[in-house]
């Protein structure tokens, strides 16, 4: 697998959460802690700061965020978007 495209992120999160995640990214609220070809960990600061991580393997996508939303939330959208740009533009960090 590879980083989820915008189309997949929108499908996972729904349009409202997708748009809010994109806004978070534009506002510079996302900090990547780790990113490689199989996933990432990040911190997103909104009303509070949340830790999140996304990973995938042959089985599919595993996503977790500390926030109370029990779904693919805007934080995961923002993190996945930034991690994908980082990986695709600059290669693997570290
Ligand atoms: Zn969240």
Tell me whether residue 29 is in a domain. yes
Q: Determine, yes or no, domain membership for 49.
A: yes
Say if 32 falls within a structural domain: yes
Spatial neighbors of 57 by CB under 8 A, at least 6 apart, are: 1, 38
Parent domain of 54: 6-90
- Each residue of 42-81: pLDDT tens digit? 999 988 999 999 998 877 889 999 999 989 999 999 999 9
Q: Is residue 1 part of a domain?
A: no
Split into its structural domains, the chain has a count of 1
Q: How far is the CA of 55 from the centre of ligand 1 (A)?
A: 15
Ligand 1 centroid–CA 70 distance in Å is: 8
Q: What's the DSSP call for residue 23?
A: H
Say what the pTM is: 0.89
The answer to whether residue 35 is domain-embedded is yes
Q: Count of CB atoms within 10 A of residue 43's CB?
A: 16
CA dihedral 62, 8, 47, 54 (to 10 degrees): 20
């Amino acid at each position: 697998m590879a980083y989820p495209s915008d189309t997949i992120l929108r499908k996972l999160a729904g349009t409202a959460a997708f748009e809010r995640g994109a806004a978070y990214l534009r506002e510079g609220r996302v900090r990547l802690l780790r990113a490689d070809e199989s996933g990432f960990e990040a911190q997103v600061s909104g009303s509070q700061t949340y830790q999140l991580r996304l990973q995938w393997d042959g089985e599919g996508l595993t996503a977790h965020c500390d926030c109370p939303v029990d779904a693919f939330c805007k934080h995961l959208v923002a993190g996945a978007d930034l991690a994908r740009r980082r990986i695709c533009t600059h290669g693997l960090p570290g």
